[in-house]
Amino acid sequence: MEKLISKYFVPGKTFWVDEYIAGGGYEAARSVFEKFDAKGLIDEVKKSNLRGLGGAGFPAGMKWSLVPQTTGKPVYLVVNGDEGEPGTFKDKYIFRHAPHLLLEGMMIAAYANNVHKAYIYIRGEYVDEYRTMARALDEAYAKGFLGKKIFGKDFDLEIVLHRGAGAYICGEETGLLESLEGKKGFPRLKPPFPAVVGLFGCPTVINNVETLSYLRFIVERGADWFAKLGSEKNGGLRLFSVSGHVKKPGVYELPLGIPLKEIIYDHAGGIRNDRKLKAVVPGGLSAAILRSDEIEVGMDFDQLRAKGTMAGSAGVMVFDETTCMVSALHVTMRFYAHESCGQCSPCREGTGWVHKILQRIVEGRGRIEDLNNLLDICSFMGGTTICALADGAAMPLRSYPEKFRAEFEDFIRSGKSIVTPKAKELVSHH
Partner 1 sequence: MEPLTLNSQTQALFSAALQAKLDAKVAKYETRRASILEVLHLIMEEKGHIALEDEKNVAQYLSIPPIDVREVMTFYTLYYDKPKAKTRFNVCRTLACHLTGGDELLKYLEEKLGIHEGQMSKDGKCSLKTVECLGACEIAPMMQINDHEYAGNLTKEKIDELLKRVKCEA
- Residues binding partner 1 (CB under 8 A): 83-89, 91-92, 123-128, 158, 160, 162-168, 179-185, 200, 241-245, 249-251, 281, 285, 315, 317, 319, 323, 327-328, 331-332, 334-335, 338-339, 341, 426-428, 430
Between CA 45 and CA 43 the distance in angstroms is: 5
Q: Which residues pair with 177 in a beta bridge?
A: none
CB of 50 to partner 1, least distance (A): 23
Q: Is 43 helix (H, G, I), strand (E, B) or coil?
A: helix
Closest by Cα among 234, 319, 297 to 49 = 234
Between CA 409 and CA 422 the distance in angstroms is: 18
- Whether 175 and 387 have beta carbons less than 8 Å apart is answered as yes
CB of 163 to partner 1, least distance (A): 6
CB of 84 to partner 1, least distance (A): 7
CB of 180 to partner 1, least distance (A): 6
CB of 89 to partner 1, least distance (A): 5
The H or E element spanning position 63 is helix 60-65
Between 59 and 86, name the residue whose CB sits nearer to partner 1.
86
Burial bucket for residue 425 (CB in 10 Å: 0-12, 13-18, 19+): exposed
CB of 232 to partner 1, least distance (A): 30
Between 68 and 342, name the residue whose CB sits nearer to partner 1.
342
Between 85 and 104, name the residue whose CB sits nearer to partner 1.
85
Between 36 and 93, name the residue whose CB sits nearer to partner 1.
93
CB of 322 to partner 1, least distance (A): 10
Between 127 and 306, name the residue whose CB sits nearer to partner 1.
127
Between 185 and 203, name the residue whose CB sits nearer to partner 1.
185
Between CA 233 and CA 247 the distance in angstroms is: 32
Question: Read out DSSP for 118-161?
Answer: EEEEE-TT-HHHHHHHHHHHHHHHHTTSSBSSGGGSS--BEEEE
Closest by Cα among 121, 412, 65, 90 to 237 = 90
Between 89 and 111, name the residue whose CB sits nearer to partner 1.
89
Handedness of CA 132, 137, 139, 140 (dihedral sign): positive
